[in-house]
Amino acid sequence: MRPEYAMRADETASVLSPAPPLTGLSVRAKILLTFLLIAVVMGGILGLVWHGKGQFDQVNRRMVEEHLQAVSVVKELQLAVMTQDHAVSRYLLSGDPRWLETGDAERSRITQALLRCHPLFDTRAEVEVLEELEKSLGRHRRRMDDVLQVHRAGAQGEPEANRLRRESGLLPEILRQSESLLSIHQGLLERNQAEAQRMAGRYRKLEYATLLLAVLATLSAVLVLRSTVLAPINSLAEGARQFGRGQLDHRVPVHGDDEFGRLSRTFNEMAAALQRERGRLTEMSMTDELTRLRNFRHFASRLEEEIRRAERYGHPLALVLFDIDHFKLYNDTHGHPAGNEVLRVIGRLLRDNARQTDLLARYGGEEFVAILPETTKADTVQLAEKICRLIELHKFPGEEQQPGGRLTVSAGVAAVPEDLAHSPLLLDAADRALYAAKAAGRNCVVAYSPEMGMPRRDHTLRLRPN
C-alpha cells in the first residue's frame, strides 16, 4: 500500500477502541435495525388506519348497493307499467293478440317488482308511499280489465283506445308515486351516509393523531441516521460516480472526525494524488520529450479538429512544415547528442516566436510542423521567413562544417481558402511546398501553388523516418 493511502497506527487504534453496543454495530446493521423499527411502527399504525377505513367502506358500499337495487326495482316497475299501457293500446288499435300477450307479461313483471319492493322499502314513510302505489296500480289494472272486457264483447277498438287514453291519468300518478318512493329512499341514504362520515371522521382523527406521532418519531430517527450514516455514504458514492466519469477534481465533504470523516479525507488525498498523476501523464502523452513541443499524436488530433472548425465556419487555416537542412550530415559529423541539442534549440526558437493560439509539434525526426488557425497565407509566409532567419542567425556548435557554413531550415506553407478549397488536402499541399523549398536550394520558404501538382485527399498522417 502506498504511504499516502495508508492509515496511521493511532487512527487504527481509535477505530478499534471500545464503543457502546449500538455504535459497535456495522453500518449495514444500523441501517437495517433502524428501518426495521420504522417498518414495525408504521405497519401497526397503517394497519389500524386501513382497518377503520375498510369497515367504513364496507358499510358505505352496502348502503350504496341497497340504494342501487331499490332504484333498479322501481325503474323496472315504471318500465313495466308503461310497457303494459302501450301494449294494451296497440292491441285495441290493431287487434293483434301478440300485444295482448305482451301486456299480460308486463302485468306479471309488475307483480314481481312489487314483491321485491317490500324488503327494500321498510321505513314508515316508504311503506305509506308503497301502499298508495299499490292502490294506484290496482285501480289502473281494473280499468285495463274493463277496457279489455268491453273490447271482447265486440265493441270497436278505436273508442276503447280513446277511453284508455282519457282515463290514463293514473299513469302519471303511478310514476310520481314511484319517484316519491325513490326520493324518500335517497334522503334516508344521504342521512345515513352523513352519519357514517361523522363517525368515520372522529375515528380517523384519533388514528391520524397516532399516525402523526409515529411519523414524527420516525422522521427524527431518519434524520439522525441520515446525518450520521447516509450523508457520508452518499457523499462517497457521489465521489465514486464523479471519478467514474473522469472528474478527478471532485472532492467529498468531510463529516466530522469519525470513521466516515477519516475515510473522506483519505478519499480526497487519493483524488488529489490521482489528479496530479493524470495531469502529468496527460502532459507526457501529448509532449515530445526531446523538444518539449507537442508530439505527432497530439498534432494529428488537433489538425483534425482545426480542419473541421475551418470547414464548418469558413475560417482561414494555415500549415507550415519545417525541415532542418542537411541534418543527417550534422548528426553524422557531430554525433547524436549534438543533433539532439540542435532539435531542442530549434524547438525553443519555434516556441518563443509563435502565438499562443498556434500549435507547434515535432512532426518526426528533423521535421517540425505549425498549425496556425485564423491566419492568412501572407501572414503565415511572413512568420515562417522570420523563424528561418532566426535559425540561420543562431550560432550552433560546429555549423561551419555544414554546406554554406550555417545550419538552416526549409519551410513549406499551405493555406485555405487561398490555396485549397478542401482543408483535408492541406497537409499534402504543405508537404509539396516543402519539397519545392528543398529543390530551390534550401534555407527558404515556399508557399504552395497549383504548379506543384494537385494534393492527394489522404487523411492518413504519416511519420517521416528519423
The three-class DSSP label of residue 23 is: coil
Joined grid coordinates for residue 219: 422522521
CA–CA separation, 212 and 217 (whole Å): 9
Strand order in the sheet with 445-447: 359-364, 367-373, 317-324, 409-416, 445-447
Q: How many CA atoms lie within 13 A of 237 on its CB side?
A: 6
Q: How far is CA 208 from CA 39, 44, 50, 395, in A?
A: 17, 13, 12, 94
Other beta carbons within 10 angstroms of residue 5's beta carbon come to: 11
CA–CA separation, 331 and 48 (whole Å): 95
Q: Burial of 373 by CB count in 10 Å (0-12 exposed, 13-18 middle, 19+ buried)?
A: middle
Reply yes or no on whether 367 is catalytic.
no
Q: Which of 366, 392, 400, 418 is catalytic?
A: 366
For 444, phi then psi, to 5°, come to -155, 170
CA–CA separation, 99 and 84 (whole Å): 9
Burial 47-77 (b: 16+ CB within 10 A, else e): eebeebeeebeeebeeeeeebeebeebbebb
State the catalytic residues.
366
